[in-house]
Amino acid sequence: MRIAMIGTGYVGLVSGACFADFGHSVCCIDKDEAKIDGLNAGKMPIWEPGLEALVKANAERGRLRFSKELADGVSDAEAVFIAVGTPARRGDGHADLTFVFQAVRELAKVIRPGTVVVTKSTVPVGTGDEIERILREEGVNDVSVASNPEFLREGAAIADFKHPDRIVVGAEDDRAQEVLKEIYRPLFLNRAPILFTGRRTAELTKYAANAFLAVKISFINEIANLCEAVDADVQDVARGIGLDNRIGPKFLHAGPGYGGSCFPKDTLALLQTADSAGVDQRIVRTTVEVNDERKASMVERVSSALGGELSGKRVAVLGLAFKPNTDDMRDAPSIPLVNALIERGAEVSAFDPVATEQAEKVFSNIEFASDAYQAAAGADALVIVTEWDEFRALDLDKIAQSLRGKVLVDLRNVYDRQEAAEAGLAYFGIGRGKLALS
C-alpha cells in the first residue's frame, strides 16, 4: 500500500515507521521543516525507544521517506493518514482542530479520486463528517473518510503499535474498511483484534478510553489520600484490588496526578463534546478537578517534608518528562511542582535522563544536573517525580551523603520507608500510611 502520513510527530512518525516495517511504502510529511531536514539527515525529532533503528532500517530499504511537500506523498497515495496535533483550545478546552482542517484543505488540492482519508489524530465526534464536508466543498467527491484512533503509549510506542490490544476502525463504507484491513493485515494475521465500528463511534471510543484511564488514576490517588488518613498502604490496596480481573492492575499507581499530551486535553475535550450534546459527564468532570488539584498540591508535600518552609531551600527533582522513556514535557506534573517551588523561594536542581533539551524550553530558572547524584548535591530534599528505571536503583547511601537535608519525597513510591531509613533518609511517599505526610 502507498501511504501518506500528514504530521510526523510522536504518532505520525511511529505509525509511519511501523507501517513501513509492515512492508508498505510510506511518505511522512510535516510542515516543520527542521523536523523533516533532521529526519532526512537521520536525526530523530523525539526520543522514543527503538525508533531510530526502525526509521533508519526502513528508510534504507526505501520504504520510508520524509517530505515537507504534501503533494509528494499524497498525490499517489491509496490512504492518507492525518496525525497532526489536536491540542486543547485555549480558554474552553475544546479540541483545536485547526491543524486537522488545514491539512484537509491542503490535501484536497492533490488527492486522487478513490483515496481513503483516515484520521489518526484524536478528534471529537463528528470530525469525520466535517472532513467529508470540507472535501466536498473543495470539489473532492470520490474519497472515503475513516477514523482510526491511535492508542499507542509514548515510551512503548513501537511495541504498542505492533502488538496492539486492539485496532479500532470507524468506517462508513466498504472501501475504507478494505483499505484499512489491508494496511493492518500483518497485525490481523497476528490475531490482533480489529474492531470495525461506525465513524462516530470510533471517534468517541478514543476519548472514552482515555477518560476511563484518567478516572482510574484519579481514583487510586484519592484512595491514597484516604490511606494517609487512616494508616493504610495504597500499594497494597492497589495490588489487592488489581488482582481482581474485573479491575486489573494497570493504572493503579498513586502519584502526582496524570499529565502528558493526551489525558488532560482529551478529558477536557470529552467534557466539551458532552456539553454540546447536553449530556453531563460528572465522573469525568470530577476526575479533571481531582487531577488539577492533585498536581497543584504536590508542592505542599515537599513543603511539609521540609518543615513547612521552602524559601531558601534547595530541592533536587528527579524526572521532568511526564512519564519515563519519553522526552515529552507536555502537561508534565513536574511543571506545576517546579514552578511552585520556585515561586515559594526554593532553588531547584533537576535531572532527567533524556528530557533536558525539552525541559530547557519550559524552565528558565532551574539548574540542570548531569545525573541524579549531581542534582542531589547540597539539596535539602530529593523529590522523585518521574519513575525512570535508573531512579529505581539509586545508591541511597550516596544520595544521603550528597544531600544537605536528609529528606526523600517519593512521589512515585519507588522506594519504601525502611530502605530510605537505612540510608539515613526521612521518607515521604504517597499513600503509604500515616507517616507519609508527617
Return the active site residues: 262
Taking the least distance from each CB to ligand NAD, the nearer of 9 and 255 is 9
Rounded to 5 degrees, what are φ and ψ at 231?
A: 60, 55
Contact pick of 5, 10, 65, 79 for ligand NAD (by CB under 6 A): 10
Strands 25-29 and 314-318: unpaired
- Cβ pair 327, 361 in contact under 8 A: no
> Which residue sits closest to ligand NAD, CB atoms considered?
9
Q: How far apart are CA 189 and CA 141, in angstroms?
A: 33
Taking the least distance from each CB to ligand NAD, the nearer of 54 and 430 is 54
- If one asks whether residue 268 binds ligand NAD (CB under 6 A), the answer comes out as no
Amino acid code (one letter) for 98? T
CA 388, 424, 346 angle in degrees (round to 5)? 65
The number of residues that bind ligand NAD (CB under 6 A) is 27
Q: How far apart are CA 391 and CA 414, in angstroms?
A: 8
- If one asks whether residue 152 binds ligand NAD (CB under 6 A), the answer comes out as yes
User: The dihedral of CA 308, 310, 311, 312: what is its sign?
Assistant: positive
- Cβ pair 306, 341 in contact under 8 A: no
- If one asks whether residue 85 binds ligand NAD (CB under 6 A), the answer comes out as yes
CB of 47 to ligand NAD, least distance (A): 12
Taking the least distance from each CB to ligand NAD, the nearer of 98 and 438 is 98
Taking the least distance from each CB to ligand NAD, the nearer of 167 and 224 is 167
- If one asks whether residue 30 binds ligand NAD (CB under 6 A), the answer comes out as yes
- If one asks whether residue 84 binds ligand NAD (CB under 6 A), the answer comes out as yes
Taking the least distance from each CB to ligand NAD, the nearer of 260 and 431 is 260
Contact pick of 3, 4, 12, 263 for ligand NAD (by CB under 6 A): 12
Q: How far apart are CA 356 and CA 363, in angstroms?
A: 10
Taking the least distance from each CB to ligand NAD, the nearer of 121 and 358 is 121
Number of H helices, E strands in the chain: 18, 14
Letters for 100-129 (x = contact with ligand NAD by CB under 6 A, - = none) are --xx--x--------------xx-------
Q: How far apart are CA 378 and CA 403, in angstroms?
A: 5
Which one of the spans 26-34, 193-201, 370-378, 387-395 is the region binding ligand NAD (CB under 6 A)? Answer: 26-34
- If one asks whether residue 69 binds ligand NAD (CB under 6 A), the answer comes out as no
Full strand arrangement of the beta sheet holding 194-197: 64-67, 25-29, 2-6, 79-82, 116-119, 144-147, 167-170, 194-197
- If one asks whether residue 15 binds ligand NAD (CB under 6 A), the answer comes out as no
Taking the least distance from each CB to ligand NAD, the nearer of 149 and 256 is 149
- If one asks whether residue 86 binds ligand NAD (CB under 6 A), the answer comes out as yes
What distance separates the 2 farthest-apart alpha carbons in the chain? 72
Strands 25-29 and 64-67: parallel
Give the DSSP per-residue string, 124-175. Answer: -TTHHHHHHHHHHHTT--S-EEEE------TTSHHHHHHS-S-EEEE-SSHH
Which one of the spans 7-15, 234-242, 292-300, 348-356 is the region binding ligand NAD (CB under 6 A)? Answer: 7-15
- If one asks whether residue 66 binds ligand NAD (CB under 6 A), the answer comes out as no
Of residues 153, 100, 192, 176, the one with CA closest to residue 325: 153
User: The dihedral of CA 66, 67, 71, 72: what is its sign?
Assistant: negative
- If one asks whether residue 202 binds ligand NAD (CB under 6 A), the answer comes out as no
- If one asks whether residue 9 binds ligand NAD (CB under 6 A), the answer comes out as yes
Taking the least distance from each CB to ligand NAD, the nearer of 121 and 235 is 121
Q: How far apart are CA 427 and CA 410, in angstroms?
A: 7
- If one asks whether residue 150 binds ligand NAD (CB under 6 A), the answer comes out as yes
Contact pick of 5, 8, 221, 332 for ligand NAD (by CB under 6 A): 8
Q: How far apart are CA 207 and CA 174, in angstroms?
A: 25
3-class DSSP state for residue 290?
helix
Which one of the spans 82-90, 135-143, 186-194, 390-398 is the region binding ligand NAD (CB under 6 A)? Answer: 82-90
Q: How far apart are CA 358 and CA 25, in angstroms?
A: 31
CB of 35 to ligand NAD, least distance (A): 6
- If one asks whether residue 7 binds ligand NAD (CB under 6 A), the answer comes out as yes
- If one asks whether residue 35 binds ligand NAD (CB under 6 A), the answer comes out as yes
Interface with ligand NAD by CB under 6 A: which residues? 6-12, 29-32, 35, 83-86, 99, 102-103, 106, 121-122, 150, 152, 154, 261-262
